[in-house]
Structure formats: C-alpha cells, structure tokens
Amino acid sequence: MELDSKCPTGPIETRWDRHCFQLKLVNPANKRKHTIIVVGTGLAGGSAAASLAELGYNVKCFCFQDSPRRAHSIAAQGGINAAKNYRNDGDSVYRLFYDTVKGGDFRSRESNVYRLAQISVNIIDQCVAQGVPFAREYSGYLDNRSFGGAQVSRTFYARGQTGQQLLLGAYQALERQIAAGQVEMHPRTEMLDLIAIDGKARGIVTRDLLTGKIESHLADAVVLGTGGYGNAYYLSTNAKGSNATAIWRAYKHGALFANPCFTQIHPTCIPVSGEYQSKLTLMSESLRNDGRVWVPAKKGDKRAPSQIPEAERDYYLERKYPSFGNLVPRDVASRNAKQVCDDGRGVGESGLAVFLDFRDATERLGQHTIKERYGNLFDMYERIAGEDPYQVPMRIFPAMHYVMGGLWVDYNLMSTIPGLYVIGEANFSDHGANRLGASALMQGLADGYFVLPNTINDYLASEKLEKVDASHAAVREAESGVAAVTKRLLDAKGTRSVDSHHRELGKLMWEYCGMSRTAGGLKHALAKIPELRERFWSDVRVLGSGEDLNQSLERAGRVADFFELAELICIDALERNESCGGHFREEYQTPEGEAQRDDRRYAYAAAWEFRGVGNAPALHTEPLTFEYVHPAQRSYK
C-alpha cells in the first residue's frame, strides 16, 4: 500500500495556508445536510465537536464518562506550549518547530510540525477569549515557564491544572452547541465498533453503559479523539478508563496503526509503592523548572537527604547536560534515572527513585513563590507519599505516561479508511519518537479547533456519500459482532479478575518493552503474550450482567484489546533495529549511553496493517524527509 501523506511542498512557512486554500469548501446551507460523529470529549474531541457544530454541521458526540468534562485531558497539569515569544527570550515559530523535530528524534513529519508551531499562537488567543484563566505576571501579561527540551520559556499554564482549565473552555463551547441543538451528546456510551460501508467510515456501534443497549449511529464521517493507550502497561499516569478500544477496532477494519512502540516514559512520577497499586501519579514536568534532580554519589548511601553533604551528591543531569540541565527532554531524563538506579544509587526503600529537591529554589525565591507555582502538586505529593516536599526532597521515578504511536493519518488527519479522521493522542501525531512536555495539549487543540475544521470539508465536498440506514448488512454484522464479544466475556466464568490478567500483561510489557528493550526480551514477550491472551479468554471472571452498569465488563472489553495491541507494540519495537527517542534498544546506543538512530534504514513511520489476531501484521512505511532540520545526533550537553 502506498502511504500518501498529502503533505504540501514548497516553502514550509506557506504550506498550510496554501493547502487550506486548495481544499474544497462546503457552503453553509450544505453543511446542515451533513452529520459527523465525534468520539471523545477530551481536548481533541471536545474542541473538534464544538468547532464542527459552530460551522453548522450536525454533530453526534460520544464519551464513556458521565460528563464530557471528565475526559482524561482534565488531568493535564503542567502547561501548553505556544511560540508567542512574550518573554522576548529568542522564541519563534521556527524555534518551536526546530525543538519539536529534534526532540522527537527526527521521526516526525516536518510539514505537520511546522503547522503545529504556527497554530500554537492561535490556540492561546482562542482559549483566552474563552476565559481560560492562564497564570499572569504582575503586569497582566500571560506568564510562561520552561519545559524540557527547550531553552526558552514558552509554556502557558494555569497553576498545576492547565488541562482542567483548557477542558472547561472546550466544554463550555461544546455545551453551547448542545444547548443550540447542533450537538447531540451521548455520555456513558462506549464505541465498540466502526461501521465501514463500501470502504468508507459511515458510523459506529455503541453500548449504553447504563442499560447495556447496543445501538448503531450513522453519519457521513467519523472522528476519533479517543486518547492514548498507555494503560496497556497497566500501571501508568493515565486515567484508569483510558483505553485503545476505538482505535483498535478501527485498526481491525483496515486503518493502519503507526509507530505503536513509540511510548513515553515520564521521568517525574511518584514511585510504585506496592504490588496491588492500580495507578501511578505524575508530578508535573514543570517542577523541573525549580527542582534539582540528584542521587547520592556513593552506592548504597541510605542517609536521610539532609544528612548528605553537597560534595557527596550527584546532580547527574546538571553534570552530564550542562546546557539543558534538569530540563533535558523526558526520554533523556528517564533513561538517566534508570541508569543511576541500576548503578545502585537509587533512593527510598526500593532503591527505585531519585530526589527532586526544592531546597535551593525555596532559599532563592521563598516558600510563598514555590507554593504559588506548584502548591496543588506539593499537596498531592504529600497526600500520597506522606512526606512534606517543602521540607524533604520529593522521591520520583519514571512511569508510563503517553503514547506517540496511534492510527496513521495524513496531513488532513484522515486515516487509511476514507472518512475516518483521528485527532489528539489517538493519532500517530507530530511528536515523532519522543514528545516534548506541554506539546500534547497544543496538538490536541490544534487538531480540534483549527486543522480538522478546515480539512474535513474537502472530504465532504468531494465524496459522493450514498444514503445508508440501519438495515444495511454491514451495520447488522457490526452490531452482532459487538453482542458476541460481550456475551463471550460474560460466559467465560473463569477464576481470575480482569485486573489480575491486566496486571500480568502490564508487568511483562514494562519489563521487556518499557524504558529499555532488547531483541531477546522482545522475543520473550512475543512468545508470552499469546499465552496470556488465551488464558485471559478462558479464565477471566466477569461478574454481573450485560444489561446494567457493569464496570468489570467495560474493563474486560478494553483489556481484551490491550492483549492484542501489546503484541503489535512488541512487534514494532523488534522490527525497529535502532534507538530513537523513547524507543531505546540496548543494542543501539552511543558510547555515552545515548539513543543511536539508524537514519539510513529507519527514517520512516512504520504503519501496520491488521491481518487477523495472532497473524503477523503487514508493515507499510512512510519515508520521512528532512529539508529544514537536518538529522543529527541529538545533543543537550
């Protein structure tokens, strides 16, 4: 299959504008004749649904939570990037573009990244107009702070609750359209299959999570803004409900899945504390603005941090990367934390933690300022870890956090199934092999507010879309498939809970396909996953019925998909014989232990085609070319 990215050519600064001009429009009277399904109400789906409705399309919007504003995006803490250069510290659209291509270790499309950097400035204006309460300086200007992988301050924030405030903005815009009758909202409704007719996406099959009713919804196009699949690893910073089901079912209908092994481990999370823990908590990257990361210089030094003199501390990020210091990108910070812990210098009872210390910043700025900047994060840490971070350094360790992989999309955000668009974390995104902090919110909102509302018109104006109704064979087939899976899960009547199977899968993934990977380890995981999957289907115990609220049944369906997706993640990781960004293959590293790319063989997006459960998927590649930022060994020294 030839993957046509539809990226424009010519000067990069004018590509998006020229592309928009060439796209067909739908006139206002004709917009009323089209219905678009949007699955997801996070920053990507919520902004898209509101914007499409504002344009005049009829929108049907779905989420599995009880309210659109409970989407996982609400958890985002640290901030959102934009190249406004309010600080006059040398930022520009070009620098944000450059930092993002380099930060992603040269595994993203230049055209997409440049567009993202351009649109970043509009996002801030849009959100300010909605009333999002970004932090401000005394003068009244919006404040900025720094995030990893950048030497400028371009991150806009609302304390440690940026996602929440941005989501409330999108949610208000969505609610306005619901009230106007332009959006039909379906909360507590889970998409369990895609309906494809004549090769085009024409609808979805859903299950009402309160009544169990299985229903079909038809439309002219389907948009998935269903978030990331980090929970395939069981323990992650994601909301417990985040899952891959929507994109996985679309993959099974022919949408290619790109770079599934590009997963992000975040360096600053509260360490795992016990076997039965079900969730990990992020401590925002913003804390690295003022916190200093260190471990004892000597192995096995178990003294309290206050007892370890300055000369016996190793501020290893500042030592190894003097230009970026504690603000190196996430992949670099995570790998270094692992290295010092592997070296026997980790802290805390398990030895799997490093210190994040605010002593110097508190002395310099005063506790009041630290509290103003990070108060809610400090409170959250104290509640979970039982220690006061104003007095003792935080203990942090890397954890699964975000996925750069997802469904392959072209420049218009359309997948390989015509009429199926994928936005936000669910697509394979503009972040390459490593996302820079504060860039996910930027991408989700760019996709939803600005890109999709321009590109989807072209499809609707160009395609002849026959009328379809619920009696179509494809609709009935999709509905009975969903009912069959639900029945199979309830009928298994095994001995182990859904969570116990999921935990076992997660442990395997973390150990063999986590922060570092080897060919041997991946082969081991690939031998084990089908075994675990089989055991899941024969031994899972789902109590209750399919006719009312049954969260165990909901989780079972999602975990069943993780068992299949996990295999694809490992296949992709094994196929990519190089290290890049978050994909660190131990066999491919520089003498200093940094990721070593192989641009000659792997400068491509790997897009996988489904060939049946348990069968090898087919690999298609989209070559990546770099005209502006020339691939080099990333250096943050």
Ligand X SMILES: Cc1cc2nc3c(=O)[nH]c(=O)nc-3n(C[C@H](O)[C@H](O)[C@H](O)COP(=O)(O)OP(=O)(O)OC[C@H]3O[C@@H](n4cnc5c(N)ncnc54)[C@H](O)[C@@H]3O)c2cc1C
- Hey, what are 345's tokens? 């210098």
Minimum distance from residue 553 beta carbon to ligand X (Å):
14
CA separation, residue 43 to residues 227, 239, 258 (Å): 9, 14, 22
Q: Which of 72, 292, 431, 585 binds ligand X (CB under 6 A)?
A: 72
Cα–Cα distance for residue pair 224/496, rounded to 1 Å: 32
Residues 420/461, Cβ–Cβ less than 8 Å: no
For residues 41 and 174, the answer to whether their CB atoms sit within 8 Å is: yes
* Cβ–Cβ < 8 Å for 424, 364: no
- Nearer to ligand X among residue 72 and residue 107 (C-beta): 72
- Show the beta-strand stretches assigned E in 260-384: 263-269, 292-296, 313-314, 354-357
Nearer of residues 76 and 433 to ligand X, judged by Cβ: 76
3-state secondary structure string across 58-114 = EEEEECCCCCHHHCHHHHCCCCEECCCCCCCCCCCHHHHHHHHHHHCCCCCCHHHHH
Minimum CB–partner distance for residue 437 and ligand X (Å): 6
Interacting span for ligand X (CB under 6 A) from 33-41, 84-92, 214-222, 319-327: 33-41
202 backbone φψ class: left, alpha, beta (φ>0; ψ -120 to 50): alpha
> Does residue 149 bind ligand X (CB under 6 A)?
no
Residue type, 408: W
Closest Cα to residue 478, out of 205, 202, 198, 190? Answer: 205
Closest approach of Cβ 155 to ligand X, in Å? 8
Residue 438 sits in the site that holds ligand X (CB under 6 A): yes
Phi/psi at 293 (nearest 5 deg)?
-90, 130
Pick from 425, 554, 567, 622 the residue near ligand X by CB under 6 A.
425
Of 258, 353, 330, whose CA–CA distance to 595 is shortest? 330
Quick check: 227 binds ligand X (CB under 6 A)?
A: yes
CB of 238 vs ligand X, minimal distance in Å: 5
Considering the rule CB under 6 A, would residue 554 count as an interface residue with ligand X? Answer: no
End-to-end CA distance of the chain: 41
Q: Contacting ligand X (CB under 6 A), which of 51, 58, 238, 434?
A: 238
Q: Is 380 one of the binding residues for ligand X (CB under 6 A)?
A: no
CB of 543 to ligand X, least distance (A): 22
Distance of closest approach, residue 513 Cβ to ligand X, in angstroms: 19
Q: In the beta sheet, which residues pair with residue 517? A: 585
Minimum distance, C-beta of residue 452 to ligand X, in the bound complex (Å): 12
Q: Which residues are catalytic?
A: 330
Which residue among 12, 26, 42, 271 contacts ligand X (CB under 6 A)?
A: 42
* Contact positions with ligand X (CB under 6 A) in 257-296: 282
**What DSSP character marks residue 544?**
S
**Which of 12, 34, 38, 40 is the binder for ligand X (CB under 6 A)?**
40
Give the nearer residue to ligand X in terms of CB position, either 194 or 571: 194
DSSP state for residue 616 in the 8-state scheme: P
Q: Per CB under 6 A, which of residues 74..133 are in contact with ligand X?
A: 75-80
Stretch that binds ligand X, among 56-64, 453-461, 462-470, 530-538 (CB under 6 A): 56-64
DSSP assignment, residue 610?
-
Q: Is 148 in the site for ligand X (CB under 6 A)?
A: no
Among 57, 234, 402, 536, binds ligand X (CB under 6 A): 402
Nearer Cβ to ligand X (74/361): 74
Which residue intervals of 465-515 are DSSP H helices?
A: 473-491, 498-513
Q: Which of 57, 64, 134, 608 binds ligand X (CB under 6 A)?
A: 64
State how far Cα 586 lies from the chain centre: 24
**Angle between helical axes of 498-513 and 519-539 (0-180°, round to 10):** 170
Integer Cα distance of 571 and 527 in angstroms: 11
Residue 65 binding ligand X, by CB under 6 A: yes
Q: Is 424 in the site for ligand X (CB under 6 A)?
A: yes
CB 245 → ligand X: shortest distance, Å? 4
Helices and strands: H and E segment counts in the chain: 18, 19
Does residue number 568 form part of the binding site for ligand X (CB under 6 A)?
Answer: no
The phi, psi pair for 248, rounded to 5°, reads -70, -40
Alpha carbon 213 to chain centroid, angstroms? 30
Rank residues 345 and 435 by Cβ distance to ligand X and give the closer one: 435
- Which x/- pattern, by CB under 6 A, does the window 172-211 give for ligand X? ------------------xx--------------------
The interface region with ligand X, picked from 42-50, 90-98, 113-121, 465-473 by CB under 6 A, is 42-50
Phi, psi for residue 309 in degrees, rounded to 5 = -65, 160
Which of 173, 283, 327, 440 contacts ligand X by CB under 6 A? 440
Choose, by CB under 6 A, the member of 439, 455, 486, 579 that binds ligand X. 439
The residue within the footprint of ligand X, chosen from 165, 182, 242, 434 (CB under 6 A), is: 242
| Residue of 103, 104, 149, 163 that binds ligand X (CB under 6 A) | 163
Cross-strand pairs, 218: 203
Question: What tokens does 422 get?
Answer: 């994928």
User: Which of 41, 108 has the CB closer to ligand X?
Assistant: 41
The DSSP code sequence of 221-276 is: EEEE-----GGGGSS-SS-TT---HHHHHHHHTT--EE-TT-EEEEEEEPPP--TT
Applying CB under 6 A, the span of 242-250, 346-354, 414-422, 626-634 interacting with ligand X comes to 242-250
Instruction: Pick one of 291, 296, 432, 444: the residue that binds ligand X (CB under 6 A).
Output: 444
Examine residue 434 and tell whether it contacts ligand X (CB under 6 A): no
Taking CB atoms, the residue at the shortest distance from ligand X is 42
Residues binding ligand X: number (CB under 6 A): 45
Compute φ and ψ for 237, nearest 5 degrees. Answer: -85, -5
Is residue 393 a contact partner of residue 14, using CB atoms and an 8 Å limit? no
Residue 224 to residue 13: CA distance in whole angstroms: 28
Among 43, 380, 475, 509, binds ligand X (CB under 6 A): 43
Q: Which of 157, 154, 166 is nearest to 89 (CA)?
A: 154
Name residue 176's amino acid: R
Q: How far is the CB of 275 from ligand X (least distance, A)?
A: 22
Q: Toward ligand X, which CB reaches closer, 101 or 246? A: 246
Give the binding site for ligand X (CB under 6 A).
39-45, 62-65, 71-73, 75-80, 162-163, 190-191, 225-228, 237-238, 242-243, 245-246, 282, 401-402, 424-426, 438-441, 444
